[in-house]
Amino acid sequence: MQKKESIFPVVYGVISAIISFIAVMFICLRSFSLNLQLSIILAGVFAIFFFGLSYFRGHASVEIKRIVYKYKLTDQEVAKITGMKASDFPIYHNHLELILPKRYWPRVLDALQNYEKKRESAEE
């Protein structure tokens, strides 16, 4: 299971990069009538940007869920740790659903990682 989770952000990032590369290529060539070399450069820049963005989102999702499952946290506990509402962290059939906007994920991830560090240091 750990192996599959570590691959997910990379696959998610690659798919996002490919889609953005193709989209930007078509936009540059068809709409802006740019030459092929400039279109490839611009598409490459956008692909790198979207790979990074998607990789982080995939990694954040995996890490948030890993910490919640590791400590068997409830929606109330996650809300208390993060300072958000419990309704932002619904758990259906023992699976955490991250329904809150992705812009909040770094804050949630940081709070949960701090919680994990405190728990690990308390266990030592």
pLDDT of 5: 58
pLDDT of 111: 96
Q: Name the domain count of the chain.
A: 1
62: amino acid identity, one letter: V
Distance CA 77, CA 103 (A): 21
Give the range of the structural domain holding residue 80, as residue numbers without chain letter: 2-123
pLDDT of 1: 44
Global pTM reads 0.85
**Residue pLDDT tens, the chain, 124 long:** 455 557 999 999 999 999 999 999 999 999 999 999 999 999 999 999 999 999 999 999 999 999 999 999 999 999 999 999 999 999 988 889 999 999 999 999 999 999 999 999 998 7
pLDDT of 82: 95
**Residues near 25 by beta carbon (within 8 Å), at least 6 away in sequence:** 39, 40, 43
CB 61 within 8 A of CB 45: no
Q: Smallest Cα–Cα separation from 108: which of 82, 72, 89, 75?
A: 82
